[in-house]
Amino acid sequence: MNNAKRWIGAFQGLFGMALQTVTWSFCLVLLTTWASTAFGEDSEGDLPYIAVTEMISTVDSGQWQDYKNSKAANFQTMLETQLTKINRFRIMERNRVDQVLGEQLLQESFSSDGTILNVAGVDYIVYGSITKFGSTNKVVAIGSVRTERASTTFGVDIKVVDARTGEIRIAESVEETVVTGKGMATRGMTHVDTASDPLADVQRAAARKTAALITGSIFPVRVVAIDDGAIYLNFGEAMLQTGDILDVVREGKAFVDPDTGRSLGATRSKVAKIKVVDTSSEFSTAELVSGEVPQKLDIAVFVGNAATQSQPEQRKRKGRAI
């Protein structure tokens, strides 16, 4: 009898210790969850899923006299890479995209009977077409001096569809031109500098601009802090580059269409112009160029890059203009 009591007492002690351990573990989980929420740590699962579908090209030609191959699959891969680096979306794996779109067709999502689009596992669908691809050469020759400059242009029409409603949220044309070669020749000297893969260079630049357009439409570039004259923005090197010029705007009164109930946006007043002076993986630092000091949560709109906007200063000519 005494042995039985001892065994029961030992069992109760072990059970009590186990229950205490489970209780403390549960409290620790709750505390960790609360801390993550309190200090603003975003869960990766909260990021929207985006699917980049196969890009098509309307400019390719197989004829030998005007052969042209814009390599649409390369651009799709570059766009996926750039969207991943920006870290505002979760990219759906390419082998899952066809499966999701197949489910969409089975649901007759685009029928006219009022069916609501319901594509499981994805929030936005990106598709588009390459609509421009070509190169230009500019030659200047004076006597024995000859200069030449080559550039490649790449353009794409992109659309972003809300997978829940089937509505096109973004429809834009993106065009990028990159200098891919330059050279000069005189009577006794020749110098030529050309890019090894000009198409890849211009596609990479276009993918960067396209990803910035998509991301900025959903997650605007905002001022997150101002410290000792430095202005901090919520995007890093995947979105912004050193030398980028941005207009800082402040949103005012919002408007709604009285007939459709659709949001028309809000008034925006320009308060400053800033220039990016440093970038990291998660944020960028800018300096004030003109205007007043921005406030936290002001929106920054890309204008251009100082390197591409600057023009060499020319001497002033005397006399009357002719």
- pLDDT on residue 39: 39
My answer on whether 263 and 215 are in the same domain is no
Considering only CA atoms, which of 289, 296, 251 is closest in space to residue 270?
251
- As a whole-number percent, the residues of the chain with pLDDT over 70 amount to 71
Q: 236: number of CA atoms within 13 Å, CB side? A: 11
| For residue 246, pLDDT beyond 90 | yes
My answer on whether 206 and 60 are in the same domain is yes
For 134, residues 6+ apart whose C-beta sits below 8 A from its C-beta are: 68, 152, 153
For 109, residues 6+ apart whose C-beta sits below 8 A from its C-beta are: 115, 116, 117, 118, 119, 166
pLDDT band, very low/low/confident/very high, at 42 (cuts 50, 70, 90): very low
Q: What would the mean pLDDT of 69-82 be, rounded to a whole number?
A: 92
User: What is the chain's Cα-based Rg?
Assistant: 29
My answer on whether 100 and 202 are in the same domain is yes
CA angle, corner 183, sides to 180 and 186, nearest 5? Answer: 170
Least confident of 85-89, 223-227, 311-315: 311-315
pTM > 0.85: no
DSSP conformation class of 99: H
- pLDDT on residue 40: 41
| CATH code at position 301 | 2.40.10.410
My answer on whether 59 and 199 are in the same domain is yes
| CATH code at position 65 | 3.40.50
Least confident of 23-37, 39-53, 81-95, 149-163: 23-37
| For residue 311, pLDDT beyond 60 | no
Task: Kindly state whether residue 107 falls inside one of the protein's structural domains.
Answer: yes
The residue with greater pLDDT, 28 or 138, is: 138
My answer on whether 278 and 163 are in the same domain is no
Boundaries of domain holding 287: 221-310
H helix runs in 46-93, sequence order:
72-86
Instruction: Give the span between the Cα atoms of 235 and 219, in whole angstroms.
Output: 10
CA angle, corner 240, sides to 237 and 246, nearest 5? Answer: 155
My answer on whether 126 and 204 are in the same domain is yes
Instruction: Give the span between the Cα atoms of 120 and 75, in whole angstroms.
Output: 26
Task: Kindly state whether residue 165 falls inside one of the protein's structural domains.
Answer: yes
Look up residue 177 and give its amino acid.
T
3-state SS of the chain: helix, strand, coil percent to 5? 30, 40, 30
My answer on whether 94 and 214 are in the same domain is yes
- pLDDT on residue 28: 39
Q: Which helix (H) or strand (E) holds 147?
A: strand 145-162
Task: Kindly state whether residue 306 falls inside one of the protein's structural domains.
Answer: yes
H helix runs in 249-303, sequence order:
none
My answer on whether 278 and 236 are in the same domain is yes
Domains in the chain, number? 2
Instruction: Give the span between the Cα atoms of 228 and 182, in whole angstroms.
Output: 43
- pLDDT on residue 129: 94
Considering only CA atoms, which of 177, 166, 167 is closest in space to residue 206?
177
For residue 268, give both structure tokens: 């925006």
For 168, residues 6+ apart whose C-beta sits below 8 A from its C-beta are: 159, 160, 161, 162
